Amino acid sequence: MAKKRPQTKAQRPQLTEGEIPVVGAREPCPCGSGRRYKACHGRAAAHAVTELVQRPFEGVPGEGDWVAMRELVPAATVELPLKDGLPEGVPSVTLATVLPMAWPALRRDDGSVLLGLQNDTPSGDISRDLADTLLRALAAEPGTPVQARRAPADGPRMQDLLDPEGTFEPVVHSGFEFWVPDPENATPEVAASLERANAAAIPTVKLTGVDAAYWCETPEKNHLRWVMPYPEEQLLDALARLHAAGRSSLGEGTRLVGSFRAHGLTVPVWDLPSGVSAEDVEKPAAEFADRLAAALASEEPLTTDERRARGGLTNRQVTLS
């Protein structure tokens, strides 16, 4: 019996650009070129996705809280309203900071879906990867975790799936017991993951009087980290005006120490004395919001002292993502 000759490149069925599916980075490219996907059509797909990362949560309700849950808050959940409603057999969709075993998503036994936010994403667009994971979780068998993969470059983003009129109200938890309805019956792997996560969680409280501001407690001092939606240059100018005027603190013993840059938004950070609680900074934060609004509205050039204050704030800025 004669051996079957391997197909040459010319003999292989050729696919058009729109027909080439997404495969693993090291797998042969489906176009038939003979090269690995990452060195062929995967390169263009990765570049197309990477261009979307500057503000991956722009346009979704509660953008600042999305950033906080992604980067700052250990344990929190929020119900997600979908644009087309919940599919049959799915009683709820819940976004969570972290899931057991670092799963990207989990379809629970009752059909509900948990979607993890603080995972490494295969592509450069967190929103697209989350949407792909969510769609696969909605279609998964109950009791099944969903694994990570690179989302198709033309796939939907969370902005396409969420109800634009829906609310986004995170619930901050002291631990990760929300992972399992009955912790006593959790598998050994999940129980061990729960114990490790609880041990590492920093006490965190979301302020109620202003948007996307989170108090947290550490052994040395407490902090307030406040995700703000304003353009970065305008916000830094406003913070510098207040800092130079001695009006940037949140009360006695507190100090504006710098800021993070995360997912296209700026996150000012205040050091607080260890005895200052979240409740203690509710009123000062609301008063600061009023001062900030006035400073943001100013169109006067920065003074010498204000430029110096701005330089100090900029030098202490750290980029998280």
Q: Does one domain contain both 81 and 141?
A: yes
d(CA 21, CA 30): 7
Count structural domains, the chain.
2
CB 69 within 8 A of CB 95: yes
Q: Among 200, 217, 249, which residue terminates a domain?
A: 200
Q: Are residues 182 and 290 in the same domain?
A: no
Q: How confident is the model at residue 133 (pLDDT cuts 50, 70, 90)?
A: very high
Dihedral sign for Cα 78, 102, 114, 263, please: positive
Q: Please choose, from the candidates 254, 258, 286, 251, the residue with its C-alpha nearest in 3D space to the C-alpha of residue 272.
A: 254
Residue 23 lies in a domain: no
- State the Cα–Cα distance between residues 128 and 160, nearest whole angstrom: 9
Based on the fold, state whether residues 192 and 74 are members of the same structural domain. yes
**Beta pairing partners, 266:** 228, 261
Does one domain contain both 112 and 149? yes
pLDDT at residue number 153: 87
Q: Where are the beta strands (DSSP E) in 108-159?
A: 113-116, 144-146
Calculate what percentage of the chain has a pLDDT beyond 70.
88
In the sheet that holds 265-272, the strands lie side by side as 204-206, 213-217, 222-226, 265-272, 255-262, 317-319
Do 174 and 210 reside in the same domain of the chain? no
- Answer whether residue 218 is part of any domain: yes
Mean pLDDT of 297-315: 96
Single pTM value for the model: 0.83
What pLDDT, on the 0 to 100 scale, is given for residue 44? Answer: 58
Considering the domain boundaries, does residue 42 fall inside one? Answer: no
Which of 157, 176, 200 is a domain's end point?
200
Task: Reply yes or no on whether the pLDDT at 276 is more than 60.
Answer: yes
77 phi-psi bin (left φ>0, alpha ψ -120 to 50, beta other): beta
Q: Which residue has the higher pLDDT, 255 or 53?
A: 255
- Greater confidence (52 vs 200) lies with 200
Residue 106, pLDDT > 80, answer yes
- Residue length of the chain: 321
pLDDT for 45 equals: 54
Query: Can you give the pLDDT at residue 25?
Result: 63
140 domain residue, yes or no: yes
Is 37 a residue whose pLDDT tops 90? no
Distance CA 124, CA 117 (A): 14
Average pLDDT of the residues in 116-128: 91
Report the share of the chain in percent with pLDDT over 90: 70
Q: Domain for residue 46, yes or no?
A: no
Of the ranges 145-159, 189-203, 280-294, the best mean pLDDT one: 280-294
Give the whole-angstrom CA distance, residue 46 versus residue 42.
6
Both 220 and 300 in one domain: the answer is yes
Residue 256 lies in a domain: yes
The CATH code of the domain that includes 224 is 3.30.1460
> Final residue of a domain: which of 200, 222, 256?
200
Residues 192 and 137 in one domain: yes
Residue 226 exposure: Cα atoms within 13 Å on the Cβ side: 27
Whether residue 16 is predicted with pLDDT greater than 90 in this model: the reply is: no
pLDDT of residue 13: 44
What is the sign of the dihedral through the CA atoms of 115, 118, 120 and 121? Answer: positive
- Cα 229 from Cα 211, distance rounded (Å): 10
Tokens of 235: 């916000």
Same domain, 245 and 298: yes
Q: What is the pLDDT of residue 192?
A: 87
pLDDT value of position 309: 97
**Residue 289 structural domain:** 204-319
Domain shared by 74 and 145, yes or no: yes
More confident residue, 247 or 194: 247
Residues 84, 184, single domain; the answer is yes
Looking at the structure, do residues 183 and 213 belong to the same domain, yes or no? no
Alpha-carbon distance of 317 to 53, in angstroms, equals 20
Same domain flag for 119 and 209: no
Number of H helices, E strands in the chain: 8, 12
Model confidence at 28, in pLDDT bands (50, 70, 90)? Answer: confident
Tens of pLDDT, residues 154-204 = 999 999 999 999 999 999 999 999 988 777 777 888 888 888 999 989 999
Please indicate, yes or no, if residue 56 is contained in any of the structural domains.
no
**Would residue 16 count as lying in a domain?**
no
